[in-house]
């Protein structure tokens, strides 16, 4: 049953305090919890460490019936289960996964069946087992929390086909309320989550990305030659501890050596190092024995060091999602911190789009037919080898095609031609998306407007005023609107363009008649940044 909002809030605060020991709820937490208790499905977008788990855990205690938590990371499930148990009987939790023993699983099912469990953690593939699904249904869960929900989306950075059927499973459970949790905010990902989980009239809550204690700066490089020295100078000058992100493994080692020569305690970290070495570097950094860690983007998952003062990127990353996530590792303690991005347009990798193309439809259809005919399971290694032999395709290309087919499989089963058509369409759309992410990074680096407002527009969180804590704000360009006779559009104002549809004004780069606009949908559900003539812009149709 749904609670009126005011009552729900009071209850939420009480449980947060009494059961979980949270004296105060954070921005966004309360709102999302109240929406859930008011009977809505909720999509919650918050950065890592923002406190997403509490948002389903607190209402779960208040709702009748157990809560099913779907989470792909088995290792983390155990941590969560133990964490919940610490709060007492009201938050008793169990996990059932391939990592638990048969006996543990039996005990868990017995406990949940007897009504002793408030939380049941499952990996998504477990639900594909009809027996498991039936057991869960019999528990009549009142809430399903889908953790890492971006995994339903092929736009996301770690798409899992297992997640695609969750909507169907949730239907089979009789449609309990659903809360989807993610730190990935790209609008396409959000749409996919709502669609695939079949969420009904969901409330979307996006909070916690502002992080105004982190000062945002961009350094524009004129040439590749000056990059190394500029990066080193800056790395030496900024507050420590500092993470220096570089594009390649080799760069991490070269920079680490150069930083060490400046007399700083530095070490490299990348995915190609032995696990033991990596662990040791990470430990030293955590323990404060390093001033600088020079890393590829392999570094950071699960890093919870509160006092990182600076994050420097020697090269522009390929999406605002990953850039902002990496930046967000600074200043977790709330103290002043900074993020410095070294930018050269040539580093954006836009060239790729003129030299690569989507896979050829005939090839895709050939693979689809081969799978159809042989009943091969592409996730099986032997089957995959056979597919390779039959189609004559290389492993990379085949892998790419198989992934695309898996993604469209649901609606095109048994029709290789339609599947191939759809798969190529999807590949094209993904390319467009990838390109628009790069365009967003270019826009972020080149905007004359407030950088934080720019980022947050992308994430869908509103920041009404320029932040005052970025280089453009300090330079006074953030609010600068060119001086022209007829009223120009203000920064962040919504506008409409005949061809590109609706969007938000992001900046005036030098030329008062050229306006950079972030368009919501141009072509296939994609954000696009375009410089257009001011005279082509209109007020939005309400
Ligand atoms: P996320 O899932 O968003 O990455 P978590 O749910 O793991 O984040 O929360 C991060 C940390 O913040 C946890 O240690 C959690 O206990 C703590 N936390 C969450 N909400 C609050 C709150 N309202 N007050 C204090 N601590 C909180
Ligand atoms: Zn700003």
Q: What is the pLDDT of residues 34-60, one digit of tens each?
A: 999 999 999 999 988 889 999 999 999
Nearest to 340 by CA among 459, 434, 237: 237
Please identify which residue in the block is written with the tokens 């990371």.
73
Ligand 1: residues whose CB is within 6 Å? Answer: 22, 24-26, 29, 46, 48-54
For residue 355, is pLDDT > 60?
no
207: nearest Cα among 7, 25, 422, 456: 456
Given this model, what pLDDT does residue 353 score?
59
Cα–Cα distance measured from residue 134 to residue 116, given in angstroms and rounded to the nearest whole number: 18
Given the cut 0.85, state whether the ipTM is greater than it: yes
Q: Which one of 25, 52, 53 would you pick to mutate in the ligand 1 pocket, going by the greatest count of ligand atoms within 8 A of its CB?
A: 53
For a substitution probing ligand 1, which of 18, 20, 51 has the most ligand atoms within 8 Å of its CB? 51
Mean local confidence (pLDDT), 310-324: 92
Burial class (CB in 10 A: 0-12, 13-18, 19+), 536: middle
For residue 306, which of 321, 289, 328 has the smallest C-alpha distance?
Answer: 328
| % of the chain beyond a pLDDT of 70 | 92
Give the ligand whose atoms come closest to the C-alpha of residue 28: 1
Name the residue at shortest CA distance from atom 19 of ligand 1.
Answer: 51
Query: Tell me, what's the pLDDT at 294?
Result: 97
Q: How far is CA 471 from the centre of its chain?
A: 25
Which residue, by CA, sits nearest to atom 2 of ligand 1?
Answer: 52
Least confident piece of the model among 83-92, 189-198, 303-312, 479-488: 479-488
Could you read off the pLDDT of 119-128 as tens digits, one per residue?
A: 999 988 889 8
Query: 22 versus 532: which is more confidently predicted?
Result: 22
- The model's confidence at residue 524, banded by pLDDT at 50, 70 and 90, is very low
Percentage of residues in the chain with pLDDT exceeding 90? 43
Q: What is the pLDDT of residue 93?
A: 92
Question: Does residue 411 surpass a pLDDT of 60?
Answer: no
| Separation of alpha carbons 523 and 532, rounded Å | 16
Ligand nearest to the CA of 49: 1
Which pLDDT belongs to residue 181? Answer: 96
Query: How far away, in angstroms, is 210 Cα from ligand 2 center?
Result: 10
Q: b vs e for 354-389, b when ≥16 Cβ sit within 10 Å of the residue's Cβ?
A: eeeebbeeebbbbbbbbbeeeebebeeeeebeebbe
pLDDT in tens, 210-255: 999 999 999 999 888 899 999 999 999 999 999 999 999 999 999 9
Atom in ligand 1 nearest the alpha carbon of residue 83? 16
pLDDT value for 158: 66
What is the distance in A from the centroid of ligand 2 to the CA of 455? 10
**pLDDT greater at residue 350 or residue 71:** 71
Q: Which atom of ligand 1 is nearest to the CA of 23?
A: 24
153-166 residue pLDDT tens? 866 556 777 788 99
- pLDDT given for residue 381 in this prediction: 84
CA atoms within 13 A on the CB side of 158: 8
How does pLDDT run across 442-478, given as a tens digit for each residue?
Answer: 889 988 889 998 888 888 787 888 999 999 999 887 7
Query: pTM above 0.80?
Result: no
Ligand (nearest to CA of 79) = 1
Averaged confidence pLDDT in the chain: 86
Q: How far apart are CA 515 and CA 456, in angstroms?
A: 19
Spatial separation of the C-alpha atoms in residues 107 and 515, rounded to whole Å: 63
Q: Which atom of ligand 1 is nearest to the CA of 52?
A: 3
Lowest mean pLDDT among 230-239, 299-308, 351-360: 351-360
* Cα–Cα dist 290/517, whole Å: 42
Which ligand minimizes its atom distance to the CA of 83?
A: 1
Distance CA 187, CA 206 (A): 11
Pick the residue with more confidence: 304 or 175?
A: 175
Closest alpha carbon to 173 in 197, 155, 201, 191: 197
């Amino acid at each position: 049953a749904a609670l009126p909002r005011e009552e729900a809030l009071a209850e939420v605060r009480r449980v947060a305090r009494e059961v979980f020991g949270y004296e105060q709820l954070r921005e966004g937490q309360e709102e999302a919890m109240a929406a859930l208790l008011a009977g809505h499905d909720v999509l919650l977008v918050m950065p890592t460490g923002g406190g997403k788990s509490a948002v389903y855990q607190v209402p779960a205690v208040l709702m009748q019936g157990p809560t099913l938590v779907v989470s792909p990371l088995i290792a983390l499930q155990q941590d969560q289960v133990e964490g919940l148990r610490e709060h007492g009987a009201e938050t008793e939790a169990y996990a059932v996964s391939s990592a638990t023993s048969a006996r543990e699983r039996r005990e868990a099912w017995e406990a949940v069946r007897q009504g002793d469990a408030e939380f049941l953690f499952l990996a998504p593939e477990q639900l594909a087992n009809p027996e498991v699904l039936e057991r869960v249904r019999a528990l009549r869960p009142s809430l399903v929390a889908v953790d890492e929900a971006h995994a339903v989306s092929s736009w996301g950075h770690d798409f899992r086909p297992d997640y695609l059927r969750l909507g169907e499973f949730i239907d089979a459970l009789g449609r309990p309320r659903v809360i989807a949790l993610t730190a990935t905010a790209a609008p396409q990902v959000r749409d996919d989550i709502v669609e695939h989980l079949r969420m009904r009239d969901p409330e979307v809550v996006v909070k916690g990305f502002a992080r105004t204690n982190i000062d945002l700066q961009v350094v524009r490089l004129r040439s590749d030659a000056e990059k190394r020295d500029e990066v080193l100078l800056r790395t030496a000058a900024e507050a420590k501890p500092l993470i220096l992100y570089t594009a390649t493994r080799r760069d991490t080692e070269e920079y680490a050596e150069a930083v060490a020569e400046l007399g700083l305690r530095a070490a490299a970290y990348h995915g190609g190092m032995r696990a033991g070495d990596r662990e040791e570097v990470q430990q030293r950094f955590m323990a404060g024995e390093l001033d600088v860690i020079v890393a590829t983007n392999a570094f950071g998952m699960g890093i919870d060091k509160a006092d990182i003062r600076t994050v420097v990127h020697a090269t522009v990353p390929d999406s605002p999602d990953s850039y902002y996530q990496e930046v967000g590792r600074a200043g977790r303690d709330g103290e002043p911190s900074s993020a410095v991005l070294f930018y050269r347009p040539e580093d954006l990798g836009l060239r790729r789009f003129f030299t690569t193309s989507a896979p050829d439809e005939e090839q895709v259809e050939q693979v689809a037919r081969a799978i159809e005919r042989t009943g091969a399971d592409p996730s099986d290694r032997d089957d995959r080898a056979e597919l390779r032999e039959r189609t004559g395709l290389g492993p990379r290309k085949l892998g790419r095609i198989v992934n695309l087919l898996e993604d469209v499989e649901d609606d095109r089963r048994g029709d290789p031609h339609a599947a191939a058509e759809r798969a190529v369409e999807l590949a094209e759309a993904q390319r467009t998306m990838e390109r628009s992410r790069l365009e967003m990074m270019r826009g972020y680096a080149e905007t004359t407007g407030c950088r934080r407002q720019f980022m947050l527009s992308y994430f869908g969180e509103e920041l009404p005023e320029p932040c005052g804590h970025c280089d453009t704000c300090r330079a006074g360009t953030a609010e600068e609107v060119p001086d022209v006779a007829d009223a120009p559009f203000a920064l962040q104002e919504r506008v409409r363009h005949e061809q590109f549809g609706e969007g938000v004004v992001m900046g005036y780069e030098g030329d008062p008649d050229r306006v950079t606009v972030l368009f919501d949908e141009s072509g296939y559900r994609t954000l696009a940044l375009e410089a257009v003539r001011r005279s082509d812009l209109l007020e939005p149709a309400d």
